[in-house]
A and B are shown apart, each in its own frame.
Chain A
Amino acid sequence: MGTIEMVSLLSQQLLGLVGGLFLLTAFGLVVTRQLRSNLMVFVVQSVLLAASALILGYAKSSTHLLVVAGLSVVIKPLLIPLILHRTVSSDVFARREIFQVLNIPTALLVAVGLVIFSYFIARPLLGDSDAAIRINLPIGIAGLLLGAFAMTVRREAIPQVMAILSMENGAFFAGIAIAPGLPLIAELAASFDMLIIALVMGLLTKKIHERVGTTSVGELAALKEGSEQWNS
């Protein structure tokens, strides 16, 4: 809108390309079955988020966005996998998810529906916004909704963690376009927050693995209304 100058055609095209790839990785998080490749998809998605921030930062010559890009590239593709590998034992990562709530074609169909829905949400908001917002806002919302969807259909702990983190990626993907002026301290705190999420989730996964013997969190269903498990 008015306060943000137009970005050049080349960077627009680059932004579109990165946005498309970002959306593709969001689909990947819904369907990849190997836990290791699931983590890789998340790493690629985070790099794409950083790339988008880099392009926007360059186009608008905003050092702020460049710092955000730098933060994303250090924290999400490097530190988060490191933390998860440190906390969760490697045989968890070697697992393959056999059973999903929905089969892959159905899941993809629902995912396509969610993308259309997010364009439906974003459309009335765009008004006369600039190209960066037109590209990033709907894709960011789509990333968010696809992450929420992936969380509900996944049964393994690590893919669920990846889904949560990819939701935040989606939120930031929209955020770098719509709220580039957010104070740096808030960005720093939010990045720090992502690290704490990864750490807490990793530690909890480890505890569940040790105590329950599985990381198929979808099969944990002792606590339900009317459940008959009343020991202790």
Chain B
Amino acid sequence: MELLIVLSVPALGAAVSMIAPSRRVAAATTVLGALVVLVLSLRVALVTANGADMVAVKDWVSCDALGALLLLLTSFVGLTAALFSWGYLAKTPNSGRSGAGRRYYSNLNLFLLSLFAVPVLAHVALVWIAVELTTLLSVFLVSYEDTPEALEAAWKYMMLTCMGAALALVGVLMLYWTMTVSGGGPFTWQGLVAASSRMPPEPLMTAFLFILVGFGTKAGLVPLHTWLPDAHSQAPSPVCALLSGVETSAVLYAILRLLPVLQGIGGAAASWCVVFGLISTAAAAFLLIQVKDYKRLFAFSTIEHMGIILVGAGMGGADAQLGATYQVMSHAITKSFCFYAAGAALLVSGVRYIPSVRGLIRTSPITGASLILGGLAISGAPPFAVFFSEISILRAGLRTGHYLAVGLLSFSIVVAFCGIMFHVTRMVFGKPSPESVAVALPRSCVGALALAAIPVLVIGLYLPQWLTDLLGHAAATLGR
């Protein structure tokens, strides 16, 4: 029942935002809706943390621990994004057009709906449609500012990810085919795992490769990542937080779900994941060094993290899988916080060019502190969650004898750490340019930053028991 409400709340929110008399009403509706969904998904998470599945409509709408984890993260980021949008939109140049704000909130609600649909839907064909809708419903959020650059980013985003989705569609249809020739059954993630031992290996592997390349495009895996830094830097910051923090993970979720299905036919699929992941991590780590736009900096860091998750899941074994799910969580909470900090920096300084931003800690202490906290947390400094998830993946890799992969991965992580910290410290410290003035952030933005900072600060040091259970059960669904 909760799952159906989770899907209907943002749909309702979209309708109300469209007919709302003013932007404030639309904003309030969105925040309220996101809050309701967060409470409901907490309930779903608590139920699935005990190892039980939440079923609303059998074989169509259901949620297990991995889905619940993704749902919880999406709804949390959704709430902070809705809150951050409130003040951010008031300060962005384009909010003056009639109805632009209401359309923004309406689109935001629809985008959230498609993001919630990915973990909640069980039928694989419907999951494909949900993933495709996450692109289509976020295109106009990416192009919100209507500058030529934003439109270019939106176009590249839509074209490349739709191309990927078409490739993945063939993969999904082939999966269905292998399912029918091996005796049928419900076309769900669990149904696929149950039928996997009877499936012929060649079509299964071909289907997996189509889906890996297709959805990999949307998850930002190198070499099909070129759209990601554009879209994730041109969109308004709260949208970036959703795109980078949870949308990429939601797509990766669809790939990871196939790993247990392919375990029966040898380690080929897992090796593909490790290789793709390593290439993405290394390429992103080196591209990080030369960025000139601080939002692109965090976008490349997303590609790096997607690579790490894929390597962790691909190496196999319970520990590495736990590390991968932990990394999904730490990435979502930390990256969304980073984009709020970047959004605050944009509000304060008005530029995206790194060398023009200096001494943020003096012009706006809250922004400067958030940016340095986000930079440390996302690059994997010790007391934060990303550090622990990366370490657990590296340790698990050493234990299972993936020495080369672990070596390359730790090298890339160190390079990325240096790249991120180099740029962030220059922006935060240093001498502010003489013409910069102290600007106060809107109160809702400060509130969103504070709310998003709580899990960033806490998760690394203390994990509640139910969350540990949820992560454990979620990791167990990646193996067989």
Residues of A within 8 A of B159 (CB): 151, 160, 164, 217
Residue-wise, chain B 164-176 has the 8 Å CB interface mask toward A (1 for contact) of 0011011001101
| CB contact list, A8-60 vs B, under 8 A | none
B-side binding surface: helix, strand, loop or mixed? helix
Is the Cβ of B173 less than 8 Å from the Cβ of A175?
yes
| CB contact list, A181-232 vs B, under 8 A | 181-183, 185-186, 189-190, 193, 196-197, 200-201, 203-204, 207-208, 211-212, 217, 220-223, 225-226, 229-230, 232
Pick from A167, A170, A171, A197 the residue with the most CB of B within 10 Å.
A171
Q: In the bound complex, how far is the Cα of B159 from the Cα of A212, in angstroms? A: 18
Is the Cβ of A127 less than 8 Å from the Cβ of B123?
no
Q: Contacts A121-B206, A147-B166, A171-B169 known; A179 to B177 CB distance under 8 Å?
A: yes
Specify the chain B residue showing the minimal Cβ separation from A222: B149
Is B126 interfacial (CB-CB < 8 Å)?
A: yes
A105 CB, nearest partner CB in chain B, Å: 25
- Give the number of chain A interface residues (Cβ < 8 Å): 52
Q: In the bound complex, how far is the Cα of B164 from the Cα of A148, in angstroms? A: 9
Is the Cβ of A186 less than 8 Å from the Cβ of B129?
yes
| CB contact list, A85-138 vs B, under 8 A | 121, 124-125, 127
Q: Contacts A174-B173, A212-B151 known; A226 to B206 CB distance under 8 Å?
A: no
* Stretch of B140-148, B248-256, B449-457 lying at the A interface: B140-148
Q: In the bound complex, how far is the Cα of B156 from the Cα of A167, in angstroms? A: 17
Q: Contacts A186-B129, A208-B155 known; A125 to B146 CB distance under 8 Å?
A: no
Residue-wise, chain B 126-163 has the 8 Å CB interface mask toward A (1 for contact) of 10010011001001100100111101111110110011
| CB contact list, B155-207 vs A, under 8 A | 155-156, 158-159, 162-163, 166-167, 169-170, 173-174, 176-177, 180-181, 187, 200, 202-203, 206
Q: In the bound complex, how far is the Cα of B168 from the Cα of A148, in angstroms? A: 13
Is A141 interfacial (CB-CB < 8 Å)?
A: yes
Is the Cβ of B290 less than 8 Å from the Cβ of A226?
yes
Is B287 interfacial (CB-CB < 8 Å)?
A: yes
Is B125 interfacial (CB-CB < 8 Å)?
A: yes
Specify the chain A residue showing the minimal Cβ separation from B176: A179
In-complex Cβ contact of A167 among B166, B233, B350, B352 (8 A) = B166
A41 CB, nearest partner CB in chain B, Å: 18
Is B411 interfacial (CB-CB < 8 Å)?
A: no
A193 CB, nearest partner CB in chain B, Å: 6
Is the Cβ of B139 less than 8 Å from the Cβ of A204?
yes
Is the Cβ of A211 less than 8 Å from the Cβ of B146?
yes
Specify the chain B residue showing the minimal Cβ separation from A166: B166
In-complex Cβ contact of B155 among A170, A217, A225, A230 (8 A) = A217
Residue-wise, chain A 126-162 has the 8 Å CB interface mask toward B (1 for contact) of 0100000000000011001001100100000100100
Is the Cβ of A193 less than 8 Å from the Cβ of B173?
no
Is the Cβ of A2 less than 8 Å from the Cβ of B148?
no
Q: In the bound complex, how far is the Cα of B233 from the Cα of A200, in angstroms? A: 21
* A-B CB contact pairs (8 Å), 20 listed: A121-B206, A124-B202, A125-B203, A148-B163, A148-B166, A164-B163, A167-B163, A168-B166, A186-B123, A193-B133, A193-B136, A200-B136, A200-B140, A200-B158, A204-B140, A211-B151, A220-B152, A225-B291, A229-B149, A230-B353
Chain A residues near B (Cβ < 8 Å)? 1-3, 121, 124-125, 127, 140-141, 144, 147-148, 151, 157, 160, 164, 167-168, 170-171, 174-175, 178-179, 181-183, 185-186, 189-190, 193, 196-197, 200-201, 203-204, 207-208, 211-212, 217, 220-223, 225-226, 229-230, 232
Chain B residues near A (Cβ < 8 Å)? 123, 125-126, 129, 132-133, 136, 139-140, 143, 146-149, 151-156, 158-159, 162-163, 166-167, 169-170, 173-174, 176-177, 180-181, 187, 200, 202-203, 206, 229-230, 233-234, 287, 290-293, 350-353, 356
